[in-house]
Every structure is written in C-alpha cells, then in structure tokens.
A and B are shown apart, each in its own frame.
Chain A
Amino acid sequence: MRGEMAVRRFGPYRQTLAWVVAVLAAVGLLAVNVGVYNGMIDFYLTGVLVIAWINIILAVSLNLINGFTGQFSLGHAGFMAVGAYVSGLLTILLNWPFPVVLIIAGLISALIGLFIGLPTLRLRGDYLAIATLGFGEIVRVILLNLKITGGPRGLGGIAPKTTFFSAEIVALITIIIITNIVRSSHGRALVAIREDEMAAEAMGINTTRYKVMAFSIGAAFAGIAGALFAHHQMFIDPRSFTFQRSIEILVIVVLGGLGSITGSIVAAIVLTILPEALRGMAQYRMVVYSLLLIGLMLIRPQGLFGTKELQDFLGYGITKALPKGSARQVASNNGGGDR
C-alpha cells in the first residue's frame, strides 16, 4: 500500500522518472561493458560482476517457479550443483566447446527437474518446499559420495572459461526467454495456477504439465548458472551448493518481488554488490539477510517491485493493476485460500 502512495506522490512525473532511471541503467551497463573491455575495471571487480550475472540467472529462473507459478521450491542450489558438476566434468574429461557444455548442463538439469518435478509437484505449498529442499540435500550427499565428483575434496582444475561477456550474454538470453514465456499464453497459465490452482484447472489448464514445464525450465537455467559458476571459480565442492545457497537465491527473488523479473534483476545486482562493498561486515551478512527476509514479510511482503516490471513504469506495461475485489485480492485476504 505504501508503494502505491509513493507512486501517487510522484504523480505525472512517475513515468519520466522511470525513463530517467532506465536510461541511466542502460548507460551504466554500457559503461561497465566498455570498462571491462578496456581493462579499466580490475580483475577482482570483474569477478564480482560475473557473480552478479550468475545471480541474475539464478534469481530470474527461480522467480519463474516461485514467483510466477507459485510453486515454492527450495532446491535451486541442487540444480545449480548438477549443472556445475556436469559442465565441470565435460570440460575436464572431454574439453568440449563451452557453449555446448553450457547447453548440455542446462539439458541435464532440466531432465532432472522433470524427473523430480513430476512426482513432487503434486504436493502443494510447504510440502513442496520441503520435498525440494530434500532433493537439494540428496544431490549434495550424492556428490559427497561419488568418486567421479571428487567427493568432499571437490572438483578442481576446471578451465576458467566464464568471462564477463559470456556470463552477460547468457544472462540476457535467460531474461529474454523467461520474459517471453511469462508474457505468452503459457505464462498466463502459470500465473493462473499461482492465483488459484483449482480455478485454473477448471478453466481447462493442464496444471501438472505447466507446473512441471516451469520447474524444468527454471532447473535448466539454474544448471546453466551452475556451469558458469564452475568455470568462473575453477573449483567446486559440495559445500558451494548447500541449502544456504538456495536461501540466498530465495532472498533475492523475495526482495525483488515474487513475480517481477525487473525486481529479481535489481535485487540480484544489489545483493551481489552490497556485500562486497561491506566486506568488513562479512560475518554479519547472513544476519542481515535473515533480518531482511523477516522484515520484508512483515512490512512489504510483495518485495521492492511486487509484480510490476520496468515496462509498467515506462508506460508500456501489458499488465494492468488488478481492480479492488478481484480474485487476487480476495485470495490474499483469505490467506491464500489454501488452508
């Protein structure tokens, strides 16, 4: 509600302001690209930016599952791990070209997403959350026990193939694909499932199919992000993909707004750069994250952007604000309706 107030306060200038911000962001992105290309941005900072792109991919793909489809997954780190290990092994053992490795990492993650999604997506809400959490932990335990993954010692010597530009290209492709999915009729179906699964089913939407689809696509991009991560760090071990990692991605999505791609991107950038800027307070990072989660839920559960996108602020939005008393509001007044 406070957000609406702020919007109203800016009144007619709101759209202009949005344009100024958008142009500044575009200029900033260009400047960063030039800076990295010229070497004006040093090695360390470039690394931080690569992580920012990877976090954007993770957040946007998790948002497809959690935000748009409303299926609460806590296993994103598990898919990331699958992609990281698959790609790492492909590079070490076969030394295939990087784009091929990325695609295979994504495909295998998607396949596992399908395999996990088909049975577990029949569960709802908090049960699904626990089942996906369990999946993530099982992946970690398997990685700890397999010989080929190096067990607890991890997998080292992965060629550093991820550059700022490859991460950027993959992230932009991810954003474009997921934006298009969300805007298509498939995306409408996903949002319908989020709003009211039973009503969606009654309208003839094959809910299981759509849920599994969203889940596998999200898993695929998480796998690709994992592959980028592996070829950036050059070393991976099961500890990089714990439940804590899933929570970090979740914090990004929730902060940006469940159901806003713009929000996920902004939050991913903020939550990657900010901890680096506050390095001296590194040990307080998780304390801040957890307070952020609790505070957001208590004060602003819709996150920074709610379900709004940049286009909505620029005046090109296709999503209109829901009128009072619409299904959405009734659902949120009834505590989600699924008790």
Chain B
Amino acid sequence: MVELTQEIIQQLVNGISLGSIYALIALGYTMVYGIIKLINFAHGDIYMIGAFTGFFAITILNLPFLPALFVAMVVAALLGVIIERLAYRPLRNSTRIAALITAIGVSFLIQNIALLAWKPDPRAFPDVFPFRSYQVWGIYLDNRQLVILGVALLLMVILHYVVHYTRIGRAMRAVALDDEAARLMGIDVDRVISITFAIGSALAAAAGVLVGIYYNRIDPMMGVMPGLKAFVAAVLGGIGVIPGAMLGGLVMGVAEVMVVAILESTWKDAVAFAILIIILLVKPAGLLGRQTREKV
C-alpha cells in the first residue's frame, strides 16, 4: 500500500513538472484566443524557436541559464509580434477559417524553414544544471524538475500581476470582453493584440528552454505535439480563461504521465485527443469556462 501511494505521488510529481510546461504554452493559446478568437497554430513552433534560441544563447554566446532564458523570451516575443503583424492582422476582418488556414500555413512555414536551417536531427541541449536527485520519503525529485516548477510558477505569478494589476492588463481584459467597446474607450486595440502575442510567445519560449533542460534534446519538429497538447490543455481549462490554462496544463501533464505508467508510452499522444473530444462533448466551455449562449 505504501509502495503504491509512493508510486502514485511519484507520477504526480513527474506529471506536474511536465504539466507546468504544457501550462506555459497553453497560456499563450488561451490569451490569443481570448482576444482575437484565433487558434494560433504557430504557437507550438514559437516554442520550438524559443528552445533553439536558448540553445544558441547558451552554446554560442556562452550565456548562463537565466540570461539565455531571457534572450529566448525576447526573441520569441518579437517573432510573435511580427507574425501577428504580417500574417494575422491583414485578416482580422475576414472569416475565422481564413485566419485558421493562415495560422496553419505559418506553423508549417516555421517548421520547414527550421528543418532546412537546423536539419531534422535532434541536438543535445547543454547541461546547464548537472543532474542531481533528491529523495524524500521514497519519492525522487531532481533539480531540473525544481527549476521547471520554480520558473513556471514565477512566470505565472508575473503574468497574473500583469493581467490584473497593470493598465495594459486591464486593457487586455477589456479587449477580450468586447473589442469594439474597448476601442470606443480609447484603447489602442492593435497595440494590445501585439502585446498579447508578445507575452504569449515569451511564455512559450520559456517553456521551450525548460523542455530543453528537462529532456536534454531539441529538434525542429519538437513544437508540433506539445503545441497541440497545450491547445487541448487550454480547451480543457476553458479557452480564454487564464487560470484554466494553468489547470488544464497540469491535468494534461498528469494524465499523460499516468497513461505512460499504466499502459505504454506509445499511447501517450492519443490521450490528449481523447481528453479533447470528451471535454468538447461533455463540457465544451472547459473546466473553468463560462457557458455562453449562441446569439444571432
């Protein structure tokens, strides 16, 4: 019995580490969706670019961890803003499907340019934190998991502060609620959207660097699956709801780790989509989302 409990707690710990990475990516999806109702398919690829930027910052610029993380976040933020400016903004008044197709196009473009530039082979992410494992009551916890949890938590606290206690945060919430009314109140909606993309992309880049540290390997296609899973996490928590993305990410990480522990690792990619289809059928608004009625 004790062993089983230990095993479950162990898997929970692993799941929460993985889940906090999904949560960071999911935040970007949910913020962008909340504001312009677009599934930013390219978000997973921005996460990949973040991981590679972190990699180059550490290997070529010889930066330590935190500055490298910062560089990756800044580069990804810029990329997010540029993508929004060039590809999404001209389509703001066209159909949502047109915007979605464009987003898919941007995603494939980034992936394939990365494949050409960096080759498909995985690269070893430098060992910034030499592996050290701690054992508490039979449960293993390593320093990388602690770094992931610490950074993710810190970023989420900062995000919470920005969204709820600053002018730009208030503007973001206003645009999410009703962009036309926000515009009438003198809010520069374009600027708010740009900033939302910047923040979301920066969070994804942080997740990319953390994954590099956790798994020690990065490759140009690494963004596809985590991107989709993080999207599912955002839907699970209630898309457009920031705490929902955090909760959804954690649930997703734990569910995935549990499935790997119980079944086999080859099934793990199906879990996310099974969860998605179930949640869409049972509670489409998500765990923390509000049910909205359709209006003509």
Contacts and interface: CB of A to CB of B under 8 A. Distances in A.
Contacts of A332: 94-95
Nearest to B263: A145
A81 B231 CA distance: 24
Contacts of A119: 277, 281
A134 B105 contact: no
Contacts of A134: 228, 232, 272-274, 276-277
A290 B97 contact: no
Interface in A83-126: 119-120, 122-123, 125-126
A287 B281 CA distance: 36
Nearest to B102: A297
Contacts of B296: 198
B70 interface: no
Interface string B255-276: 0000000001011011011101
A130 interface: yes
Contact of B273 (A138, A294, A335, A338): A138
Contact of B270 (A72, A122, A138): A138
Contact of A135 (B104, B231, B277): B277
Contact of B228 (A123, A133, A289): A133
Contacts of B113: 287
A147 interface: no
Contact of B109 (A130, A145, A291): A291
B204 interface: no
A297 B296 CA distance: 26
A113 to B, nearest CB: 15
B112 A297 contact: no
A293 B272 contact: no
A293 B112 contact: no
Contacts of A120: 277, 280-281
A126 B100 contact: yes
Interface string A120-152: 101101110111011101100110110000000
Given A287-B116, A294-B109, A301-B98, A141 B91 contact: no
Contacts of A247: 104, 108
Contacts of B231: 130
A250 B101 CA distance: 9
Given A293-B101, A297-B102, A137 B270 contact: yes
Nearest to A291: B109
A283 B105 contact: no
A141 B284 contact: no
A335 B94 contact: yes
Nearest to A333: B93
Nearest to A126: B39
Contacts of A286: 108, 111-112, 115
B77 interface: no
Interface string A279-292: 00001101101111
Contact of A144 (B37, B104, B266): B266
Contact of A145 (B100, B102, B232, B267): B267
Nearest to B107: A290
Contacts of A138: 270, 273-274
Interface string B115-130: 1100000000000000
Main secondary structure of the interface of B (DSSP, over half): helix
Nearest to B224: A243
A336 interface: yes
B280 A131 contact: yes
A141 B235 contact: no
B109 to A, nearest CB: 4
A284 B294 CA distance: 43
Interface string A285-314: 011011111100110010000000000000
Size range of the interface on A?
A: 35 or more
Interface in A14-31: none
B279 to A, nearest CB: 10
A2 interface: no
Contact of A338 (B94, B96, B109, B264): B96
Interface string B25-54: 000000000000111000000000000000
B153 interface: no
Interface string A327-339: 0000011011011
B109 A287 contact: yes
A59 interface: no
Interface string A255-286: 00000000000000000000000000001101
Contacts of A243: 224
Given A293-B108, A297-B102, A125 B96 contact: yes
A120 to B, nearest CB: 7
B186 interface: no
Contacts of A244: 108
A158 interface: no
Interface in A240-255: 243-244, 247, 250, 254
A274 to B, nearest CB: 17
A302 to B, nearest CB: 10
B96 A335 contact: yes
A137 B268 CA distance: 11
B87 interface: yes
A287 B112 contact: yes
Contacts of B272: 134
The 4 closest A-B pairs by CB, nearest first: A134-B273, A293-B105, A290-B108, A336-B95
16 contacts: A123-B280, A126-B38, A129-B39, A134-B272, A135-B277, A137-B270, A138-B274, A141-B266, A145-B267, A250-B104, A286-B115, A287-B113, A289-B108, A290-B108, A297-B91, A339-B96
Given A130-B232, A247-B104, A293-B102, 10 more contacts: A72-B97, A72-B100, A120-B277, A125-B96, A141-B267, A142-B270, A292-B105, A297-B105, A298-B87, A332-B95
